[in-house]
Structure 1
Amino acid sequence: MKKHFLLLLFICSGVFAQTGIDINELKWLPNSHSFWVSSDQNVLVYDVDKLNQSTTVLTGEQLKNSGFNGEVEDLVWNQNKTKVLVYTNSKTVWRAKTKGDYWFFDLATGKGRKLGGNLEASSLMFAKFSNDNENVAYVSKHNIYLENLASGKITPLTTDGTDKIINGTFDWVYEEELAARDGFRWSPDGKSIAYWRVDASETKFHLMINNTDALYPFVVPVEYPKAGEKPSSVKIGVIDIASLKTNWLDIPGEPDNNYLVRMEWTAKDAIMVIQLNRHQNQASIYNCNSQTGKANLIYQEKSAEWIDVFDISSGVYDGFPCQFVDNGKAFLWSSDADGWMHIYKISSDGKKKELITTGNFDAYYKAYNDKTKSIYYISSPKDATQRYLYETNLNSGKTKRVTPEVFEGTNEYEFSTDGSYAKHMNSNINRDFNMRLVSVSDHKKILPKEADVFAKPRRDFSLEKFKVTTVDGVEMDGIMAKPLDFDPNKKYPLFFYVYGEPMACVANDTPYFNEFIDLLIPKGYIGIAMDNRGTPSLKGTKWRKSIYKNIGIINTRDQAMAAKEILKWNFIDSDRVAVHGWSGGGAVTLNLMFQYPDIYKTGVAISAVTDQHFYDNIYTERYMGLPSENEATYVKASPVTYAKNLKGNLLYIHGTGDDNVHYKNAEVLINELIKYDRMFNLMIYPNRSHSIYEGEGTTRHLVDTFIKFIYEKSPPGAK
């Protein structure tokens, strides 16, 4: 139940006038602080230390001469940066364009050719070089293939791939909830490949119906394990390239009752694997021998709630959460077991554990510079709505804030692969986004050369932060939007934007708000977004994990109790109060409308989970436990339980092609509202996914439908 945005409202210009480099397009090379950009199909490489010159490593003419027929969408480099794979003609798998065509180029000769032989066009996934530069491996239709760069010979490394047997990548739920897409890793010597094998044979299909794209309707099946259903059976195999034999890692636990979240080679014959149990409240780290398959437990952590192996709200896929330090004798591990998210150093045998980040504040790991022994992390000890970069040195133990005071607000960093430079984006509710390239240790700006300009945001309303304390003693952060002609002596209609679940915050110090709020506020509304308990604010473990077995319960009450306090403000018209949320926020919207009809008179819920039983097992069980153990809580948390209480004006919106929050949720809710003769408005979008954007005119129609409903049921303008 992720947070979704309908429109992309911010455009951050990062073009460096001196070089013509667009910071938005800058992509880092491996093991360096060099980066590449594509300009008119030419691939240019820059060293941050020598930005006055670039190296053209691949020209449009070379691409054309090889038969290349697409756009340069991405590059995959070998370790010594002498060869490259060009990714193009991509297609979407679930939510990202992770399959396409790859072209191999030897940068010494400039010659290239297409990979994949007779495999289906635009079907290759996650192609990457072996460390000995002899081969490339990739996935196509759930099988892993090896292609020799010298001979062009293609060898299937797995042959049992089907819709249900998935080699080298993952099923829907692993990608959605464990941020796992790329499912294989080369060994350091290039002699073997470790890979995930997902057996979804026992996972039931959720069947979606396509009524519009053919004469007869047809079924679109999605393997989707719902809450209470067992996970797919997952194991890790190691393929020996010479013999083509697979050795399976002997990791304890039932393969269909645990999650193998991450793995990484640590030595020639050693693989580190991170496992979560079914309840996701026990994380186990194993050192596995790739030859014998033996798995040795070196570290284990347990929690009364759940364990975040990685920052689940970061949007980063496939990242390995353990950073090796001290020449591989130890690794960094993040844990909030002591009440705050902290970084620890753990010896490679798991016998010694040392707290690195101290203090009563959260520290979210970002990068490590092996040369300086500096750990970089995001923290904000004083204001949970903001984000700053901090550094702690492993040798000296000294800690400092890296982000200068002038960059008040939310700061994001994309580090070079050696941890020495970063793209830095700063945002604040009172100014536009601004970008720069900086050296990390001293935060010295490399580009652009001009002085930083902190321009006022281009919008026709104002934003301000506030705090509100509920009757339960819960202090919540909020962002409020006001029209520019705001008059405190008049009363305005109120529009709440809610999310409220563990995947995202909405009261951030950023200059954008909710897309619909952006359109409504200038017409004479007050817009408000608040973060309740259970959202990933930097307020410690107790704040974030109080929502355990409480989704739909504690977040609903926090939002409603905070709204009651806001209704006491003199400029609020309590008769015109609207609320809107999408996905998990849609569920909160429904719960607020059904449980607190005296507060919320109008609501628009989009793509909502209406019954907690209907969502996938990894997400739901992580935060709610298993239904068989907590059935009463599942019922209490579900909006459909309270649908009979609807009194206000409800518009419900859903796409029938939603593979995330299925359209089933809509029809079950509709049936319940009909049962109790509750009147409501409905808009269904055929074959649109969770974000409801596909198809000509869709976005405009959705916006117009939304705005028209709000105008009619909660009219704009101060009184």
Structure 2
Amino acid sequence: MYMKFYRSGLTFLTALLLIIQQNTAHAQRTGVNWTKDGNQYYRITGGQIIMIDARDTSKKTVFITKQELTPAGKSPISVKRFTVSEDNKKVLINTNTKKVWRYDTRGDYWVYDSNTKKLWQLGKNLPESSLMFAKFSPDGNKAAYVSGHNIYMEDLADGSVKQLTTDGTQKLINGTFDWAYEEEFGCRDGFRWSPDSKSIAYWQLDASKIKTYLMLNTTDSVYPFVVPVEYPVAGEDPSSCKVGVVNTATGKTTWINVPGDAVQHYIPNMEWADNSNEIILEQLNRAQNESRVFIGNVSNGTTRSIREEHNDSWIDVKARVAGGDPVGWGWIEKGKSFLWLSEKDGWRHLYKVTREGKESLITKGNYDVIGIDMIDEALGYVYFIASPDNATQKYLYKIKLSGGKAERVSPADEPGTHSYDISPNGKVALHNFNNSYTRPQSEVVSLPEHKHITGTVITVDKDTKNKPEFFKVKTVDGIEMDGWMMKPINFDPNKKYPVLFTVYGEPAGQTVTDTWGTGHNRLYEGSMADDGYIYMSVEGRGAPAPKGTAWRKAIYKNIGIINIRDQAMAAKEIIKWPFVDSTRIAVHGWSGGGSSTLNLMFQYGDIYKTGIAVAAVGSQLTYDNIYQERYMGVPTDEAGRAAFIKGSPITYAKNLKGNLLYIHGTGDDNVHYKNAELLIDELIKYNRQFQLMSYPNRTHSISEGEGTTEHLRTLFTQYLKAKCPPGGR
């Protein structure tokens, strides 16, 4: 997940908040655990678990004490995250966690029974910190988890453990996913209990034919050693994928017969079809421009197709996923229909789909549904996030399940970014608000009237000085782009100032958002405003802004071309402003933003004089197939490869004119250090001088190791000041 947040050019604080908000896969919640009635929620406080009344947060009850969370003869359990059983009697506690690529999805699990006051560890005979995605069965009598790529079930009454799959290996993966699925589809938790607690549906990935990328670790031992990563680059086949349903009594798996070549398709979404006899799944073709939804019979494995969709570019399945959980299967009408997001009419809209595949449009109009928050079938509404009038902001809306006009729920006098965690009863919600000049604030509100109940009274900070200024700029191509800038303290309009652009420019994230932290550069030591810089970002086509499908998908097969031109043409207009010094224009970005920085320096060196690029994809043919093929097509022949080459920074490296600082971690499993060396080779070939900083054995975040962050910030700041001096002239 680091790649997506650092790609997007988000500030450190905003990225951290997003990581917290999105780390909510099954049994991996770090957010709110609601009680079944929706009136209370659980939180970890001071090493114990408390229950808070959402209607009056001053009413707090200790649910499990620190003493009760202390195993005999051991220290208290450090609770990382937890879930509560349906009957509120048992608690599943995750602790001692370890990272699997992006998230700490391996760890130990303990169960506490509030009736018997008993605390015990699950899978205690398995290796330490090896359990993944443990969760209670719906009836609360068992728990299931993954360890060593196999699925286990444990009886909570007698502690007996049953291994449900036995063929898991390093390359044959049951119940979780390979690197590419995790990184690009957000898939981590790979199994689902049936509603009747008698079966478990799970993914199986066969990565045996995936080529292994060998990273070299030269710092952690006297002799270097290789670190293998299953990494299919663009043009290479993905892992084979299939879905099975294992009967927990017999241990027998029934494989779901999904049509087509299992290697040339993806299955990014799968759930039970609101009963224990059927599952529902979405299948994507390799190019990710065809989606088919199947309902599968778990008794004999047969399937029937109920929905198909085709797109000239790509189908954005990630718009239907929140932290690994599908949000497209919100069952209504007692399982007869479900809600689905689709962009087939040019906007991301909400549809009702019956089990037979009949569709009806719920949201109508020229606006995008950013995400579904809650279905309140009792009152006949669905709540969703949208921003029809300002693509930099987010608000809560509601609309009748039968369709009609959407109503804004978020207050009109709170411009900015809103998010909600709505209780199961739909009557209360935890409301979070911030904007570019107001720090994050939280309160509990009633729904649908959005009245304050308890917590901080949301107050928009109208007195903030030197806040980001939002603007629009139209390019020579007629493209109107959103932007923001932070001007220097004591700005003098009669002087000319240097500009540092922060850029991302690819479909994985926005940089121009009305959120707290906008305008702050986490890589700069000190204050850019105090030192006399204008800090700025503009956002062109291809960014995932709620501006319609045409805006987002104009970048198809044009990464490194259209997005780069939009940035450059916007900058060309901005340097005409009387207070901008056209001789001191700099740009920086991380990951996809690093790629954009390189392309801007190489393709438009007459505009950008200084660039600082971090962890960039130098050649699009080196990056993973799911991401790169989604946006650039499958490079199966020379014509297909041509688009990848045309958009890659190394193609234009010979054109470097200005000052370039390139930074990369040698232990980057996401954008491999090979990209740096390909770039270095090209710059050497054409005698283009530049500065390089390699961080030994650091990953894509370049955050590991003592002093790393401070060193990076110092390097960034000193280079910028030396090559693009601050201050008005």
> In which range does the TM-score fall when normalised by the shorter chain?
over 0.9
TM-score of the aligned structures, taking structure 2 as reference length: 0.94
1:123 is displaced (CA, Å) by 0.9
CA distance in 1, matches of 2:87, 2:219: 50
Q: Deviations over 1:190-242 (max 9, x none)?
A: 11111111110000111110001001000000000100111101111111111
| Amino acid in structure 1 at the alignment position of 2:64 | L
Alignment partner of 1:92 is 2:88: no
The equivalent of 1:36 in structure 2 is 42
Query: Is contact 2:71–2:77 with CA below 8 Å preserved after alignment?
Result: no
CA distance in 2, matches of 1:49, 1:512: 30
The equivalent of 1:21 in structure 2 is none
The equivalent of 1:346 in structure 2 is 353
SS at match of 1:62: coil
Alignment partner of 1:668 is 2:678: yes
CA distance in 1, matches of 2:481, 2:260: 41
CA distance in 2, matches of 1:69, 1:140: 24
Specify which of 4, 7, 12 is matched with residue 2 of structure 1: 4
The equivalent of 1:20 in structure 2 is none
Report the CA distance shift for 1:615/1:232 in structure 2 as closer, same or farther (over 3 A).
Answer: same
Alignment partner of 1:683 is 2:689: no
Query: Is contact 1:462–1:483 with CA below 8 Å preserved after alignment?
Result: no
Residues 288-299 of structure 1 mapped to structure 2, 5 A cutoff: 288-299=296-307
The equivalent of 1:430 in structure 2 is 437
CA distance in 2, matches of 1:708, 1:584: 23
CA distance in 1, matches of 2:307, 2:15: 43
SS at match of 1:272: strand
Query: Is contact 1:263–1:320 with CA below 8 Å preserved after alignment?
Result: no
Residues 632-711 of structure 1 mapped to structure 2, 5 A cutoff: 632-711=642-721
SS at match of 1:670: helix
Report the CA distance shift for 1:654/1:366 in structure 2 as closer, same or farther (over 3 A).
Answer: same
Alignment partner of 1:277 is 2:306: no
The equivalent of 2:391 in structure 1 is 384
Residues 2-401 of structure 1 mapped to structure 2, 5 A cutoff: 2-4=4-6, 7-8=12-13, 26-29=32-35, 32-49=38-55, 51-66=57-72, 67=74, 69-266=76-273, 267-311=275-319, 316-350=323-357, 352-364=358-370, 365-395=372-402, 397-401=404-408
Q: Deviations over 1:271-326 (max 9, x none)?
A: 011111111111111110111000110111111111112327x8622334221111
Query: Is contact 1:145–1:156 with CA below 8 Å preserved after alignment?
Result: yes
Alignment partner of 1:566 is 2:574: yes
The equivalent of 1:549 in structure 2 is 557
| Amino acid in structure 2 at the alignment position of 1:203 | I
CA distance in 1, matches of 2:94, 2:144: 14
Q: Unaligned stretches of 5+ in structure 1?
A: 13-23
SS at match of 1:563: helix
Does 233-242 or 57-66 show the bigger shift? 57-66
| Amino acid in structure 2 at the alignment position of 1:175 | E
TM-score of the aligned structures, taking structure 1 as reference length: 0.95
| Amino acid in structure 2 at the alignment position of 1:672 | E
Does 35-44 or 700-709 show the bigger shift? 35-44
CA distance in 2, matches of 1:491, 1:570: 7
| Amino acid in structure 1 at the alignment position of 2:260 | G
SS at match of 1:483: coil
Q: Deviations over 1:429-484 (max 9, x none)?
A: 23322221222311111222x643333687x8431001000000000000011012
The equivalent of 2:448 in structure 1 is 441
Specify which of 517, 531, 535 is matched with residue 512 of structure 1: 517
Report the CA distance shift for 1:624/1:454 in structure 2 as closer, same or farther (over 3 A).
Answer: same
The equivalent of 1:477 in structure 2 is 482
Alignment partner of 1:626 is 2:634: yes
SS at match of 1:54: strand
CA distance in 2, matches of 1:30, 1:699: 43
| Amino acid in structure 1 at the alignment position of 2:428 | Y
Q: Unaligned stretches of 5+ in structure 2?
A: 18-29
Report the CA distance shift for 1:326/1:310 in structure 2 as closer, same or farther (over 3 A).
Answer: farther
CA distance in 1, matches of 2:152, 2:327: 23
1:45 is displaced (CA, Å) by 1.4
SS at match of 1:2: helix
Query: Is contact 1:143–1:158 with CA below 8 Å preserved after alignment?
Result: yes
Q: Deviations over 1:24-53 (max 9, x none)?
A: 975434573431112222211123245453
| Amino acid in structure 2 at the alignment position of 1:375 | V
CA distance in 2, matches of 1:50, 1:560: 52
1:492 is displaced (CA, Å) by 0.3
Query: Is contact 1:462–1:484 with CA below 8 Å preserved after alignment?
Result: no
| Amino acid in structure 1 at the alignment position of 2:645 | V
CA distance in 1, matches of 2:466, 2:450: 33
Does 85-94 or 394-403 show the bigger shift? 394-403
| Amino acid in structure 2 at the alignment position of 1:263 | M
Report the CA distance shift for 1:562/1:48 in structure 2 as closer, same or farther (over 3 A).
Answer: same
Specify which of 481, 486, 491 is matched with residue 491 of structure 2: 486
1:245 is displaced (CA, Å) by 0.9
Query: Is contact 2:14–2:516 with CA below 8 Å preserved after alignment?
Result: no
CA distance in 2, matches of 1:315, 1:705: 36
1:160 is displaced (CA, Å) by 1.7
1:124 is displaced (CA, Å) by 0.6
CA distance in 1, matches of 2:124, 2:664: 41
The equivalent of 1:524 in structure 2 is 532
Q: How many residues align?
A: 704
| Amino acid in structure 1 at the alignment position of 2:277 | D
Q: Deviations over 1:582-636 (max 9, x none)?
A: 0000000000000001000000000000001011000000000011252111111
Report the CA distance shift for 1:278/1:139 in structure 2 as closer, same or farther (over 3 A).
Answer: same
Query: Is contact 2:67–2:76 with CA below 8 Å preserved after alignment?
Result: no
CA distance in 2, matches of 1:293, 1:203: 27
SS at match of 2:366: coil
The equivalent of 2:21 in structure 1 is none
The equivalent of 1:496 in structure 2 is 501
SS at match of 1:711: helix
Residues 569-584 of structure 1 mapped to structure 2, 5 A cutoff: 569-584=577-592
CA distance in 1, matches of 2:575, 2:166: 63
SS at match of 2:154: strand
| Amino acid in structure 2 at the alignment position of 1:638 | S
Query: Is contact 2:364–2:405 with CA below 8 Å preserved after alignment?
Result: no
Does 479-488 or 430-439 show the bigger shift? 430-439
1:329 is displaced (CA, Å) by 1.1
SS at match of 1:407: coil
